[in-house]
Amino acid sequence: MFELSLMCPEDRIEAVSDALDALDALSVSVEDADAQTDAEQALFGEPGMPPPKDGWQRSRVVALFPTAEAAQEAQQLLTVQDFFEGCQVLGVTEVPEQDWVRLTQSQFAPVDITPDFWIVPTWHELPPQAVRSIRLDPGLAFGTGTHPTTRMCLRWITRNGTVAADGSSTLGRVLDYGCGSGILAIGAAKFGAVDIDAVDIDPAAVESTLQNAQANGVQLKAGLPDKAQGEYQTVLANILATPLRVLAPLLCSHVAAGGHLVLAGILERQADELKEAYAPWLPLQVADSEDGWILMTASR
């Protein structure tokens, strides 16, 4: 495997990428050439923010080819095109052969939420101390248990989810708003919840949630946000601060009397603005923190 590396200005990225695809590149990737420097640019913003730019001012374009000859031929053909003006060839280098599946798997180890509750990828054995566990592999949707926001939500579930003598759960009816992989909804099911709605704006997340629920042997309903109906004893939302502010009236309207609202995806410096946004409906408080992120909760 050989990679052809190019430096391109923002207005040339699309044309160069399309040309590389036409030249049978196995893959084409674009990254910020100034990453990890003072000139690094944030390209993707939160919902509600100005739309992201189409590219960085200086981008490194990397195309993979099966042979050195194919990479060099692509280089020669590109450099004589009008649209290549302003671009620069960085070189053709050989990419060492690797077991990419094994390399990816090595980055995801079992995660302990509590000493006896673990998130475990399917290629790992369950830790002997795992009384409860969620089997979950990294996929297209957010939520593998490795991020502090997810861990804090799951810790809240472990502290507040108990099964009563009659078999009912103290979590009651549960809404996971912005479910991603479904990890929070599945966690609620593991702690006794039986009436669970998981919703997301991304159809891929809905499908991922259903597949992960089936793999973990739990029952839940998943769909787009309009599937959230009525009031819930537990409302979970692990998203980001900006959409959480926008969603304040909606999320609060779903919290039943005596119910709980649990919010994550919030940085410590954003606590006051979230409290202010939710004040007309519910009094938010910081309930947990980890690595600069906080968990905020409220009770009706």
Longest dimension (CA), the chain: 77
Nearest residue to 108 (alpha-carbon basis) of 127, 91, 95, 121:
121
| Annotated binding residue 238 | yes
* Cα–Cα distance, 22 to 268 (Å, whole number): 47
Dihedral angle computed from the Cα positions of residues 147, 233, 251 and 112, in that order, rounded to the nearest 10 degrees: 0
DSSP H helices, the chain, are: 13-22, 68-79, 100-106, 148-160, 183-190, 203-215, 241-246, 248-253, 271-278
Nearest residue to 296 (alpha-carbon basis) of 277, 172, 49:
277
| Annotated binding residue 116 | no
CB 169 within 8 A of CB 195: no
CA angle 162, 291, 225 (to 5 degrees): 55
Strands (E), the chain: 2-9, 27-32, 58-65, 88-94, 111-114, 117-120, 132-135, 174-177, 196-199, 221-223, 232-238, 255-267, 285-290, 293-299
Annotated binding site: 150, 178, 200, 238
Annotated binding site for S-adenosyl-L-methionine: 150, 178, 200, 238
